[in-house]
Structure 1
């Protein structure tokens, strides 16, 4: 097997394990045994080892003494820190999106918001998550700032891990309303209002999630 084939397999294993972490199939604290995973996924150990190392680098897994790599956990303190950073970055992304984008973004955000509302009415958790992520992805991509996009992509990975680790959620109906406020500000062409709306949304999420985490929900 050549290096390119091994890299492709490692990428596929990484994506599979990453999704299993986000869906909870691999629970927080679960061991990531290279031999066991290789058997389960029916691949050699080398690409699995590479995939697990990448999970550690991406902070989706951590190394523990005498246990090796395990699925990472996110506590209340880490969750607060993640959302402090996210609030600043999402606000900046919204401001930049107003300054750098046009009607196409507004149309896309209206579509994403409508999708989000349908998912909330249906009570479809997976669709709610997907629509929420799509809305935020559209805004950060529209910022036109590659560093903001990169940093928010990293933060989003940690947010998804935190949602699974802490088993807490924020009110989906409130998120729809917050997204509508962000969209209204962007559509009006007001960078400052867009930033404030985005920051208020993330701050509200932070408060709700921390309240639940501290209550042991």
Structure 2
């Protein structure tokens, strides 16, 4: 039971710190000290150390030789590289998945959209972004290529850090972020794999193009 409680606490600490990093509440370069976190969250050291290890694996923090940890940064150059990679693997994931898409899958996408809409109305940007990632992850999970899914899992949180800011800057309201996924559901339901691939890539690059001043 003690171990179960520690696992639950570790997950709670991890989620708290992860969200604080994604939102920028804990800024890049800030140190994360075990004892300070313990005092702030009123927990023991074990769940904090476990949470920090997971954050390290996610690439959200970096361990230093003296065993301290600092929050990593995501540069524009890294984001550009991530989106270049994503444009390659997401196109393949969508194209491959469309060959075996089911009514159940389409229903799941609709449920995720409704959850995104609900999160947007509550102004819960973290949940909205989590559901956004879940929407796209469905195609990575169903494409049948474990290396593509592994790559997605490695870049997902970095994408979340990026879109946490851009969704507020480039969309007039959060419900527009959710609504941007409706055409994707429609094209998936149509069964047109080529159109689906093209629309997913256009959707994925929309904010990046706006940042660069490209007309879309």
**TM-score strictly above 0.5:** yes
TM-score by length of structure 1 reads: 0.75
**Partner SS for 1:70:** strand
Which of 175, 179, 192 is matched with 1:176 structurally? 179
Work out the CA distance in 2 between the residues paired with 1:93 and 1:147: 11
Aligned to 1:189: 191
Q: Which runs of 5+ in 2 are unaligned?
A: none
**Partner SS for 1:28:** coil
**Partner SS for 1:101:** coil
**Partner SS for 2:137:** helix
The structure-2 alpha-carbon separation of the partners of 1:13 and 1:123, relative to structure 1 and needing over 3 Å to count, comes to closer
Work out the CA distance in 2 between the residues paired with 1:4 and 1:94: 38
1:73–1:162 CA contact under 8 A, matched in 2: no
* Superposition deviation, residue 78 in structure 1: 1.2
Work out the CA distance in 1 between the residues paired with 2:123 and 2:58: 28
Work out the CA distance in 2 between the residues paired with 1:48 and 1:119: 28
**Partner SS for 1:192:** helix
Q: Would you say how many aligned residue pairs link Structure 1 and Structure 2?
A: 207
Aligned to 2:123: 124
* Superposition deviation, residue 159 in structure 1: 0.9
The structure-2 alpha-carbon separation of the partners of 1:15 and 1:128, relative to structure 1 and needing over 3 Å to count, comes to closer
Work out the CA distance in 2 between the residues paired with 1:91 and 1:209: 22
1:100–1:144 CA contact under 8 A, matched in 2: no
Q: Does 1:199 align with 2:205?
A: no
- RMSD of aligned residue pairs (Cα, Å): 3.3
* Superposition deviation, residue 12 in structure 1: 3.9
* Superposition deviation, residue 176 in structure 1: 3.1
Q: Does 1:150 align with 2:153?
A: no
* Superposition deviation, residue 36 in structure 1: 0.8
**Partner SS for 1:168:** helix
**Partner SS for 2:51:** helix
Work out the CA distance in 2 between the residues paired with 1:88 and 1:144: 16
Q: Does 1:48 align with 2:48?
A: yes
Work out the CA distance in 2 between the residues paired with 1:34 and 1:145: 38
Worse overlay, 97-106 or 39-48: 39-48
Q: Which runs of 5+ in 1 are unaligned?
A: 212-217
**Partner SS for 2:69:** strand
TM-score by length of structure 2 reads: 0.75
2:117–2:178 CA contact under 8 A, matched in 1: no
1:25-174 to 2 correspondence within 5 Å? Answer: 25-63=25-63, 68-116=68-116, 122=121, 124-126=123-125, 128-164=128-164, 167-169=165-167, 170-171=170-171, 173=176
